[in-house]
Structures are given as structure tokens and as C-alpha cells.
Chains A and B, each alone.
Chain A
Amino acid sequence: MTAVTAGLAAQLVLALLSSVLTFSVPARARSRVSGISCALISTAGAATGALALAGGRGSLTIPLALPVDPLTLSPDRLGGLFMLVASAVGILVSVYGISYAHGPSASRTSWAALAFFLVGMQLVPAAADAMSFLLMWEVMALASTALLLADHAHGRQVSSATVWYSAMSQLSFLLLLGGFTVLSAAAESTSFSAMRAVSSQSPTASIVFVILILGFGSKAGLVPLHVWLPRAHPEAPSHISAAMSAAMVKMGVYGALLVCIRLLPDGPAWWGVLLLILGGISAMYGILQAAVASDVKKLLAYSTTENVGLIFLGLGASMLLRSYDATAAADVAIIAALFLVVSHAAFKAPLFLGAGSILHATGERNLDRLGGLGRRMPWTGAAFGIASLGAAALPITSGFVAEWMLLQGLIHGARVDGELVSLPVSIAMPLAVAVIALTAGLALLTFVKAYGIAFLARPRSPAAASAHEVPALMRIAPLIGAVAILALGLLPGPVAVALASAIGPEAVMNVRTIGLAGVGLPSIGALLDPVGLLIAAALVAIPVLTIIVVTSKRHPQRVAKLVWGGGGERNNPRMQYTATSYAEPLLRVFDDVLQPSRDVQVTHVDESRYLVQRIKVEQRVSDRVETGLYRPVLSFADRIGVLARRLQNGSIHRYLGYSFAALLVVLVAVSL
């Protein structure tokens, strides 16, 4: 029995133990006991994942009474990576949950569901056959539905979000079931190793590819299957949103990687193009919606769609380049996609946890009513700020390294040794670069807005003015995430090498650690050393800081209530720019895409219609994919439902008639 096997078994045993404990301890100790045991599950997962990523082997086989292959859990390096990412998020979420969970989200059901959610998520990437993969997938999906439903008593929004979420996740499950069924029929086995024998050039492979990508894309939140994200993420308790967004969504990415580079590697070029287009559209649509969102958790949910879009864009570009034999650039692109996965987990967890802390301190999710929290909640502000820098992909964070690698892969992809690779590639690559650039630019605006409006300036509501810093555990968890963002961003070399090893031995040739811990891409001649950049910045900052220290002795700062008031009084905090007004220019520029609806009601003074007494403006940006694609389907289903109601009019005679007709049909069918 190897260490990996022990780790896998430990996770299962701990999950069972944890749920037993949750139901047996008294209510006041419940959050502490369950939180710690959930953190232990994730610690076991992190250790197992790290071992598997380092090349450790081991498998856990559970024989079934059914005439199929036994359930086998045996993570490879790639699986180990995703297990590690999910578990790291799991630890933060459990620790944060100890303090954060209250009321219905601290119930026995919720804590037990969290244990199963975590273990399901951690074991999905360990699955070595379709049966255990689907089993773990469904454990993850059901447990997360239960967690989402925790707050259902508090609003119709929650139940509606749960319905959308469970519909989308069951749709995803059905697609996966269908896809794996076709694939295992072709391979005559449910084990992944046998499925590799299926040729990826065959038509069956293409059918399987499309079905599975739709299934995984739904979990990952790709447009147009993203509709559950902006509903479920805001309504779930914040630590659950963090786990969903930073870890669960990654399982969709893992599934896509499993299909594209493990089960059906080297597929036709159009697979890459399909993923490239899906990813590009998701990235742009997601960030546009995030940029105009005022609900901080909705903003973060759409930003998840954006990041997943970028990951799929990297994966698609890599597959496209590989199909034209531009292997070096292809490897760089896929390593960049994995770096994006890790980086997104690192910054999205603290962002959602930070949003939870804001919610805890003010009871508000609406950015338009926040402000001035930076001084009231310095620790949360610091973590949220660093995570925002990561999401905006600025140096020295992990997001920057990931996007830099992706861009380097793309610009070196169209030509190999001075020869043009192919015409489609030379058009696809600049377009992909433009999509990434626009996405990065809008992400910058989005996160300046999110941080600036919530944490800077003056409070826009009494709730924000009376905010207070959150308990210690809720400060620590996001801060750990923030440290991880900076660590990944400053020391990307070893991380990139580890990520490359998860792809395969050839990929490791294309990435190297340079300098202290910078990342070098020898095959395309690019290198980046964030520590060097930081040192250079520190060196040029020294004279400036010296001048500040010298002059501030003689010229200390003065604090004025009214700085440049011009004889007036400090304006009302409500006159500051809000999140809505911040995004307004953008909303106008992208009017055609977003199509906001605006309702203006002007009330005039009785005496004169030239004088205005009150103006009421209401603006709504709805998700066009939802209104255009889902509403028609839903209303069609509704109409069918209404029609079907006529079948049942309550008359016993009619029901007897139905049974008789059914019997006749069966008899006729049998006799034929």
C-alpha cells in the first residue's frame, strides 16, 4: 500500500467520520468540530495531490457486485494537480467556515454536505474509470446543491438559484453519462486506460468530444452554459461560493483536459478551433457582464466565466497549434492554461471569502452602498486588494505570469523556424491575442471598480459606515490566499515546471527555472523574473522614499475635513461615483452587446411642468444569453406542461381508459 493509496482511503474515511461527528456533537461546538474535520479531509487531499503530482503512484480499487470493471481511484500527475488545487481551496473554505457559518449554513446537513462536497471534488480527478468519475462527480453535484439550498428560507432567490443550478448540473451529468457511454462502448471498457485505444480521428471520437465538452463546459461555466453561475454564486453562503468558483468549476476544466490530452489526444484541428471560439466568447462576455455588475458576488461569478474562458482559450490554442506541429508554442499555451487554473483558484477564493466578510460586516452585497471599508476592515481590505490585483493580471501576481505565458505561446505559434504554420493559425492567433487583451483591459476596470468602490472613499450607506473587522479565522483564510497569489507570482519558475510535468515529459523541455525563481521558455526565447522586476522597482523607489522621509519632517501632512471645498460644504457621500456610474461609459460603449433596459420616471412640480420634483431611474442589465436562449426553451416547456395537464382531468373513467389503451399497445407490440 503506497502513500497515495493511503491518502485516498484517508479522504473517504475522514469524510464518513466527519459526517458522523457533525451529527453527534452539540450545536455550539458543531461549527468548530466540523470545520476542523473538513479541513483535515482537505489536508489529506492536498498531501495526496502533491504526492501524485510529484509522480507518486497508488490506486484504491473498490470491487462492485455489478458486471462492470471495479471502481478504481488512481490519480496521475494531472489528477494530482487538480486534487491539490481543490484541496487547497477546501482548507481555506473550511477554516473560514468555522467563523462564517451561522444559522442555516451551520446546520448539521450543511456541514455534512460540505464534507461530501469536498471529498467528491477531491476524488473526481483521482478517478481512473468512467464509473468512479461519474460517481464522484454526482457526489460533488448533489452535495453542492444541498449547500446552496441552505438559506432557502430567506428568499425566493435562493430556491430559484437552486432550481437553475440543479437543472444545469444534472444536464451536465446526463451529457457526461452519454459521452462516456458512447466512448466506453467503442472501447469495450469503462476504464480510462482502455478508452485511449479509441482513435481520435474517428467520427465516434468527434461525437464523444462534442458531448463531453458540452457537459464539462456546463460545469465550468462556459457561455452559453454559464447561466447557473451568476445565480448560484451570489445566493450560496460565501464560503460555499468560494469553493464552487475556485475549485468545483475547475473540475469542468479537468474534465476537458482529460478528454483533450488524455483520452482522445491529438484530435482534428477543428476541436481546437471550437474550444478557442467557446473560450474567447466566454472570456469577453463574462468580463463585460462582470464590468457592469454592481452586486459584488455576481461580479465575481461572471469573472469566473471570464477566467474559465481564458483557460479554454489556452487549451484550444494549444490543440490547434499541436495539430499543425507547432509543439513548443502548444506546450507553452497549455502550461499557461494550467497556470491560469492555479492562479484563478488562488485569487478567486480570497475574493469570494472577502465578499463574505463584507457581507458579514455590512449585510450588503451591493457595491453601490459600500465604500470606505479599507479603513474599517484593513485585513480584509489587504487580502481583497491583492486578490483584485491578481484578477486584473498585474505584475507581481500569479495572474500576470499566467497571461504573460499564454501571450508568449500565442505570438510564437504562427511561425515555426521562420515558416508559416498555416493560414487559419495566422488569423486565429492575433484574434486570440486581441481577445485576451480586451479581456485583460476590462478585468482591470472591473477590479479597480470592485476594490475602489468598496474599500476606498467614503461610506455610501450607514451599514458601510458602521462596518467592523471580522473575526480572526475569517481574516486569516483570505490572507493565506493573498500570500499564495504573491508567492505564485514572484516564484513562478518551479510552479511552471511542476505544471509542465503534469502535462507530460515533453512539455517539461519547454519550461525552465531561471534566476532566483523566474520562468524561462527556452524553446521560444522568452524569460520573466518577477523578483528581478521587484528589486528594480525597489531600487528606483529608494530615492523617492528618501525625499518623502526628508520633506515630511519639514512639511507634515495636514488633514482637512473639507479639502477643496471652495466655500461650500463636503458633499453628501451619495454624490460620490458608485459602481453603477463607474461602469456607465462602458455600458454605453458596449450598448449593442449588453442591451441595458432603462426606465426613467420624472415627476413634475404641480405648478409647472418645467420644474422637476423627483426623478426615478431604474437600469437593468439582463443576461442576453439567458433571455435569448433559455427563456424560449423554458416557455416552450411550460406550454407543453399546460397542454399535458389536459390529459389529467380527474375522471376515473379516463384513467381506466388510459390503462386499457396502454395494455392494448403493449399486447399489440408483443404480438408483432
Chain B
Amino acid sequence: MNWSALIIAVIQVVFFVLLAPLLIGVMRQVRAKLEGRVGAGIWQPWRDLRKLLVKDPVRAEDSSWLQRAAPVTLLVSSLLLCVLFPLVGAMTVTLIPGDLFVVVSVLLIGVVALALVGLDSGTAFGGMGSSRHMMVAALVEPTLLLAVYALSIPTNSSTLAIIVETRLETPAVILSPVSMLAMVALIIAIMAETGRLPVDNPSTHLEVTMLHEAMLLESSGRDLAWLELGSSLKLAALLGLVANLLVPWGIATTSSALAVIIGLVAIAVKVLLLGGLLAAGEVFLAKVRLFRVPELVAGSFALSFLAVTASYLIA
């Protein structure tokens, strides 16, 4: 058992729990400023969480135990992502290497938990959100796995830490056309998976178009707090992964205190910067019709398929 990897995993989890609400705050603030609004300030998500935790959760009469368990499941799946991803340091806990296929399925546990919350509420709205959410998740999966496949080819392994380390050692891999195709596909898939524009509009409430928020409508109190925290953690962790795949420099490869501190600062800067960019980009995007999402997903699938075949034929 390598203890340094374990310690880094713990640091990652704690740090990302602190960072994730801040990321959402920054993204909302960037968006507000660009739209000419004052905005609620970057600490608002934190204040919301604190408020939700001290409220009594109200549950419907016919809701089941899932209303309580599923939010925790979503949060745990997001926390597990923070354990498995190489965010602060690129070392792996021996027995649970961050295998990309395992990571994707951990992500899917959260997806399923959220969908079940939506169904359990017993309203038309929740079911609608759940159904659309699952459809998008199902259609995104081929892109996601093929992008994983493409990323695994240069290193001949689907273990994330090895992939990131290879990119750190030979930066030429990052700029290869194959890797760029795979990254674009991966980013589109992640945007769909985390419910960002143009697939879902994270700032709408009570609109027929929404996916993610529709499933949370009936949750309240700490249930809602877990769902919100889980979703923002998922976004932060996935942005961190993309950042480290694109710009791996700064990630700790040894367990010295200095390396870890540099790793922490680097990942915080990368995630917040990427989040700010994403928010700025979203200002110029409109949500596409639900039934045009498959076209978007098909496009990203084509990119990832090209990435895989190209890496065999060119290399």
C-alpha cells in the first residue's frame, strides 16, 4: 500500500469539496458580469449549502427511502471521482487504480441516482426530467467510452494516472491530432453529462426545457444540499480531469509537501480558469432543442471514432 497516494487522495477530496461550490460561484459571477448583472457574489453557493443543511427536509407522503438515499449516493459517486482522478497528484492507490472504464461507471451511478430521485417524486415534472436525463446519458455513453479508448491507445492502458504521466513526459502526445479529436469529443460528452449548455440550461427553473433542475424540484433541505454539492463536485472533478489532460504541468508526481502545494494551486487555477471560460462561452450559446441533442452527440461520436481509427492508421 503506498501511503503517499492515499494521503493525496484524501487531500484531493477535501480540497475539491471546498473548491466545487466556489467554482459554481465563479461561473455564475462571470456570467452575471458578462450579462451586465451584479451577480450574487462567488460565495453564494456556499451560503446556499449552509442554509440548506439547517433546514428541515420536507418529503412527500408517498416518497420512498430513495428520496433520502439517492442524494447521498450521488454525492458519494462524485466524491469517488475525486479519489480516482489524478487532480492534485498523479499517483494511484494500488488496489483502485483510476481505470477510465471504472470512472465512467462511477459517474453513471450518480446519473442513475439522480434519475431515480426524479422518478420517486411522483410528479410529471420529475419523470420528464428523469426520462430526458437518461436519454442524454445513454446517447453520450458511446462517445465517452470511445474517447476513453482513444486516450488509452498511446499508453496502452486505460489507467488515468499513467495517461496523465505520459502526457507530462511527452507533451507531443497532447498536441497530436488524434488526442485533440479525442479531447473535443470528451469535452462535448462532459458538457452533456454535467448538464451544461447547449444540452441543458443550468440557470433555468420551471421551464419545459430543463433536465437537471426538473429532477431536483421535489427535494429540499439536506437532500437538496447533497444533490447540489454532488453535481457541482462532478463538474469540478471533470473540469479538473480535462485540465490535467490538456495541461498536465503542475500536477504532483512526488509526495513532497512543496509538490503537493504546487499541485493544489495549479489545479485550483486550472479548474477556475476553465470554469470561467466555460461560463463565458455559455453566454453566447442557446440551449438546443432536446431532439437536436442526438445530432450534437452523433457529431462528437464521429470525432471520437475518428480519433481511435486514426491513431491506429496514422501511428
A436 at the interface (CB under 8 A from B): yes
Known: A444-B108, A528-B102. A586 touches B138 (CB 8 A): yes
With A and B bound together, what is the CA distance between A548 and B222 in angstroms? 8
Query: For chain B residues 230-259, which have a beta carbon within 8 Å of chain A?
Result: none
Of chain A, the residue at the smallest CB distance from B295 is A589
Residues of chain B within 8 A (CB-CB) of A584 are 131
A356 at the interface (CB under 8 A from B): no
Of chain A, the residue at the smallest CB distance from B109 is A394
Known: A536-B83, A558-B56. A453 touches B119 (CB 8 A): yes
Known: A532-B95, A533-B80, A560-B59. A394 touches B108 (CB 8 A): yes
B121 at the interface (CB under 8 A from A): yes
B33 at the interface (CB under 8 A from A): no
Interface residue SS majority, chain B = helix
In the complex, are the beta carbons of B72 and A558 less than 8 A apart? no
In the complex, are the beta carbons of A437 and B152 less than 8 A apart? no
With A and B bound together, what is the CA distance between A436 and B83 in angstroms? 26
In the complex, are the beta carbons of B95 and A452 less than 8 A apart? no
Q: How far is the CB of A367 from chain B (nearest CB, A)?
A: 12
The stretch from A333-341, A569-577, A630-638 touching chain B is A569-577
B45 at the interface (CB under 8 A from A): no
B269 at the interface (CB under 8 A from A): no
In the complex, are the beta carbons of A456 and B152 less than 8 A apart? no
Known: A430-B146, A526-B157, A526-B158. A556 touches B56 (CB 8 A): yes
Known: A456-B120, A541-B76, A577-B119. A564 touches B291 (CB 8 A): no
A404 at the interface (CB under 8 A from B): yes
In the complex, are the beta carbons of A457 and B120 less than 8 A apart? yes
In the complex, are the beta carbons of B135 and A545 less than 8 A apart? no
A585 at the interface (CB under 8 A from B): yes
Residues of chain A within 8 A (CB-CB) of B159 are 526
Residues of chain B within 8 A (CB-CB) of A588 are 291
In the complex, are the beta carbons of B102 and A456 less than 8 A apart? no
In the complex, are the beta carbons of A564 and B61 less than 8 A apart? no
Partner of B142, one of A418, A427, A434: A434
The stretch from A31-39, A114-122, A312-320, A405-413 touching chain B is A405-413
Residues of chain A within 8 A (CB-CB) of B60 are 559-563
B169 at the interface (CB under 8 A from A): no
Task: Determine which residue in B122, B124, B145, B290 has the highest number of CB atoms from chain A within 10 A of its CB, and name it.
Answer: B122
B204 at the interface (CB under 8 A from A): no
Residues of chain B within 8 A (CB-CB) of A581 are 127-128, 131
In the complex, are the beta carbons of B158 and A408 less than 8 A apart? yes
The stretch from B35-43, B195-203, B276-284, B305-313 touching chain A is B305-313
Q: How far is the CB of A506 from chain B (nearest CB, A)?
A: 22
Q: How far is the CB of A313 from chain B (nearest CB, A)?
A: 14
With A and B bound together, what is the CA distance between A552 and B130 in angstroms? 28
Partner of B305, one of A430, A458, A562: A430
Query: For chain A residues 320-353, which have a beta carbon within 8 Å of chain B?
Result: none
In the complex, are the beta carbons of B131 and A456 less than 8 A apart? no
In the complex, are the beta carbons of B291 and A589 less than 8 A apart? yes
A17 at the interface (CB under 8 A from B): no
A670 at the interface (CB under 8 A from B): no
Residues of chain B within 8 A (CB-CB) of A411 are 149, 152-153, 158
Task: Determine which residue in A375, A418, A445 has the highest number of CB atoms from chain B within 10 A of its CB, and name it.
Answer: A445
In the complex, are the beta carbons of B115 and A458 less than 8 A apart? no
Q: How far is the CB of A555 from chain B (nearest CB, A)?
A: 5
Residues of chain A within 8 A (CB-CB) of B116 are 448, 451-452, 456
Q: How far is the CB of A381 from chain B (nearest CB, A)?
A: 9
With A and B bound together, what is the CA distance between A444 and B221 in angstroms? 28
Q: How far is the CB of A201 from chain B (nearest CB, A)?
A: 28
A309 at the interface (CB under 8 A from B): no
Of chain B, the residue at the smallest CB distance from A560 is B58
With A and B bound together, what is the CA distance between A51 and B205 in angstroms? 61
Mark interface residues in A8-19 (1 if CB within 8 Å of B CB, else 0): 000000000000
With A and B bound together, what is the CA distance between A575 and B308 in angstroms? 45
Q: How far is the CB of B179 from chain A (nearest CB, A)?
A: 16
B296 at the interface (CB under 8 A from A): no
Residues of chain B within 8 A (CB-CB) of A393 are 105
A374 at the interface (CB under 8 A from B): yes
Partner of B95, one of A404, A441, A529: A529
With A and B bound together, what is the CA distance between A556 and B99 in angstroms? 40
Q: How far is the CB of B104 from chain A (nearest CB, A)?
A: 9
A537 at the interface (CB under 8 A from B): yes
B218 at the interface (CB under 8 A from A): yes
Task: Determine which residue in A371, A433, A453 has the highest number of CB atoms from chain B within 10 A of its CB, and name it.
Answer: A433
B residues within 8 Å of A by Cβ? 13, 53-62, 64-66, 68, 72, 75-76, 79-80, 83, 93, 95-97, 99, 101-102, 105-106, 108-109, 111-112, 115-116, 119-124, 126-128, 130-132, 134-135, 137-142, 144-146, 149, 152-153, 156-159, 217-218, 220-222, 226, 290-291, 294, 301, 305, 308-309, 312-313
Top 8 nearest A-B pairs by Cβ distance? Answer: A577-B127, A441-B141, A441-B138, A452-B119, A532-B95, A457-B122, A426-B312, A437-B145
Q: 20 interchain pairs (CB within 8 A)?
A: A394-B105, A395-B109, A415-B153, A430-B309, A438-B138, A438-B141, A438-B142, A444-B134, A448-B130, A452-B115, A457-B121, A544-B226, A547-B222, A557-B59, A558-B57, A559-B61, A564-B218, A576-B122, A577-B119, A583-B131
If A395-B105, A558-B58 are given as contacts, then 10 extra A-B residue pairs at C-beta distance below 8 Å, sorted by A number, are A375-B64, A426-B313, A456-B64, A526-B157, A533-B96, A540-B76, A544-B72, A561-B60, A576-B124, A589-B139
